[in-house]
């Protein structure tokens, strides 16, 4: 009951914060000729140099849990991504980019804006990174599953594996995100937005790769990516319910 009350309270706070927050700033992103995908400057640079405190990060994360869930599992329908186990570098970059207006996310902005300083960015990121990656997440459940996975694997290993890794582990020091355990619908939405030029803080190298893919190919790649797991980083499978 306490957990239910907390969840309802956080959801009400989330709605109020989103309604009351000022509009997000708008910085020049990938559409600008001077855009630098990962410029190390401002609070992002400061946060990356700091050691995050997981205990303080847990407290700061409570408001995030209203959308991303206390476990960091996000939502299988793709509205909110799975965060647990993500690299601190990636988390700090994305939060800083949203705060600076480099990434458009009207829902997230009011909450990212409440983080007070680079230290709090580092704290929240440190807490999220150590969470186990949920085993149960949104996977592709459409037609021709085996065919989609086979096609997606071929495309992934050809052009995605170099950055995102064999098991979707990403590369922390290069800011390449973990994609293992990520929801299929979220992956598909983000890749579509990157391809179509709507993700303004996208990596230009990824844009070049993904630009040539049609919708069917993006579906296949997303289906395969959502099937990836990282040995040693996934949550333990839940024990089957005992029969009464």
3-class SS letters over the chain: CHHHHHHHHHHHHHHHHHHHCCCCCCCCCCCCCCCCCCCCCHHHHHHHHCCCCHHHHHHHHCCCHHHHCCCCCCCCCCCCCCCCCCCHHHHHHHHHHHHHCCCCCCCCHHHHCCCCCHHHHHHHHHHHHCCCECCCCCCCCCCCHHHHHHHHHHHHHHHHHHHHCCCCCCEHHHCECCCCCCCHHHHHHHHHHHHCCCCCCCCHHHHHHHCCCCHHHHHHHHHHHCCCCCCCCECCCCCCCCCC
Q: Is pLDDT of 16 > 70? A: no
Question: Looking at the DSSP assignment, which residues form a beta bridge with residue 133?
Answer: 234
Better pLDDT: 1 or 102: 102
pLDDT at 87 over 90: yes
Flag whether 230 is marked binding: no
The stretch 198-210 carries a mean pLDDT of 95
Q: Domain 2-23+31-129, what fold?
A: Cytochrome Bc1 Complex; Chain D, domain 2 (1.10.760)
Cβ-based neighbours of 212, under 8 Å, separated by 6 or more: none
Q: Where are the domains of the chain?
A: 2-23+31-129, 145-225
Predicted pLDDT of residue 42: 86
Q: Is 163 annotated as a binding residue?
A: yes
Question: Stretch 184-197: mean pLDDT, rounded?
Answer: 97
Does the pLDDT of residue 1 top 70, yes or no? no
Does the structure show a pLDDT above 90 at 2?
no
* Model confidence band, residue 241 (pLDDT cutoffs 50, 70, 90): low
pLDDT over 90, % of the chain: 75
The residue assigned the tokens 């790649």 is 221
* CATH of range 145-225; options 1.10.760.10, 1.10.1510.10, 3.40.50.2300, 3.40.50.300: 1.10.760.10
Residue 226 binned pLDDT confidence (cut-offs 50, 70, 90): very high
pLDDT of residue 244: 55
Pick the range with the lowest mean pLDDT from 7-21, 92-106, 142-156: 7-21
Is there a binding annotation on residue 206?
Answer: yes
Residue 68 known to bind ligand = yes
Confirm whether 2-23+31-129 and 145-225 share one CATH topology: yes
Residue 151 reports pLDDT greater than 90: yes
pLDDT at 99 over 50: yes
The residue with greater pLDDT, 239 or 188, is 188
Q: Is 108 annotated as a binding residue?
A: yes
Does 77 score more than 80 pLDDT? yes
Q: Which positions ≥6 away from 18 have C-beta within 8 Å?
A: 106, 107, 110
pLDDT > 70 in the chain, percent: 88
Question: Has 64 been labeled as part of a binding site?
Answer: yes
Query: CA of 14: how far to CAs of 22, 106, 228, in Å?
Result: 14, 12, 31
């Amino acid at each position: 009951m306490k957990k239910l009350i907390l969840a309802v309270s956080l959801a009400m706070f989330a709605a109020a914060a989103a309604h009351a927050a000022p509009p997000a700033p708008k910085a020049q992103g990938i559409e600008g000729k001077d855009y630098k995908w990962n410029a190390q400057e401002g609070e992002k640079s400061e946060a990356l140099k700091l050691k995050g405190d997981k205990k303080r990060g847990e407290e700061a994360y409570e408001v995030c849990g209203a959308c991303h869930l206390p476990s960091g599992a996000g939502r299988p329908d793709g509205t909110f991504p799975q965060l647990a186990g993500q690299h601190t570098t990636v988390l700090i970059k994305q939060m800083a980019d949203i705060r600076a207006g480099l990434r458009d996310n009207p829902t997230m902005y009011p909450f990212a804006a409440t983080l007070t300083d680079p230290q709090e960015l580092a704290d929240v990121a440190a807490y999220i990174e150590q969470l186990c990656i949920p085993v149960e997440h949104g996977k592709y459940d459409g037609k021709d599953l085996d065919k989609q996975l086979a096609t997606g694997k071929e495309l992934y290993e050809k052009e995605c594996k170099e950055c995102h890794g064999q098991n979707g582990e990403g590369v922390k020091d290069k800011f390449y995100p973990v994609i293992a355990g990520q929801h299929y619908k979220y992956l598909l939405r983000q890749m579509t937005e990157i391809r179509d030029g709507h993700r303004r803080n996208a990596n230009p190298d990824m844009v070049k790769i993904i630009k040539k893919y049609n919708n069917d190919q993006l579906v296949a790649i997303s289906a395969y990516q959502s099937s990836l797991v990282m040995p040693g980083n996934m949550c333990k499978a839940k024990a089957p319910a005992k029969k009464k």
